[in-house]
Amino acid sequence: MNSFTGKIVEDIGQMKNLDSLDLSANRLSGEIPATLALLHFLGMLNLSNNNLSGKIPLSTQLQSFDPSAYSGNPQLCGVPLPNKCPGEEEGTEPPPIATGNEKKIQEEDGDKLITQGFYISMGVGFAFGFWAIFGPMLLSSISGYACFKFLDKLTDWLYVMASINLARLQRRLQS
């Protein structure tokens, strides 16, 4: 309600950290700039009661707002408004907007690599890898003995090094 007139400037998309935009009840005209879709942090939008026209730019961000954010603009069309733009078929529905967990799943699985086969092959690969490394140690007493002797010496060495370094640190703190 600032009595703004004219068009919404194209440069509005450069305000990357904008989280709230209320341009309601003004005398703005023209189309909604496509750069408005670049405002990814926009959590609240109200463009109602202006004289905006044309199609609402397509982006997950702008279609996720309530239709009331665009009300009072009789020449405005497109999702999420019920009125279709000229040239759009009446029978076609836009793809549903994913929200919450559905949106996260769609983003993570956008490349379609994570499937049931992926999990099965991971399990089979783990089993083969485990038995390729540890199988000979468990089945052969010589290699098993050598491996466990090495691990025993390694843990002894780590314990001695930790004790020496701790004693050095205590001496430095006391001085």
- 35 and 121 part of one domain: no
- 104 and 128 part of one domain: no
The domain total for the chain is 2
- 100 and 55 part of one domain: yes
Domain boundary residue among 108, 143, 159? 108
- 85 and 133 part of one domain: no
- 120 and 95 part of one domain: no
DSSP state of 32: P
Task: Give the percent of the chain with pLDDT over 70.
Answer: 85
Which pTM was predicted? 0.50
Task: State residue 97's pLDDT score.
Answer: 52
Residue-number span of the structural domain to which 53 is assigned: 5-108
CATH code of the domain covering residue 75: 3.80.10.10
- Cα–Cα distance for residue pair 87/81, rounded to 1 Å: 16
Copy the structure tokens of residue 154: 């390694």
- 94 and 21 part of one domain: yes
Contact between 85 and 70 under an 8 Å Cβ cutoff? The reply is no
Contact between 47 and 69 under an 8 Å Cβ cutoff? The reply is yes
pLDDT in tens, 117-127: 888 999 999 99
| Prior bond of 80 cis (ω within 30°) | yes
Residue 107: band (very low, low, confident or very high) from pLDDT cuts 50, 70, 90:
low
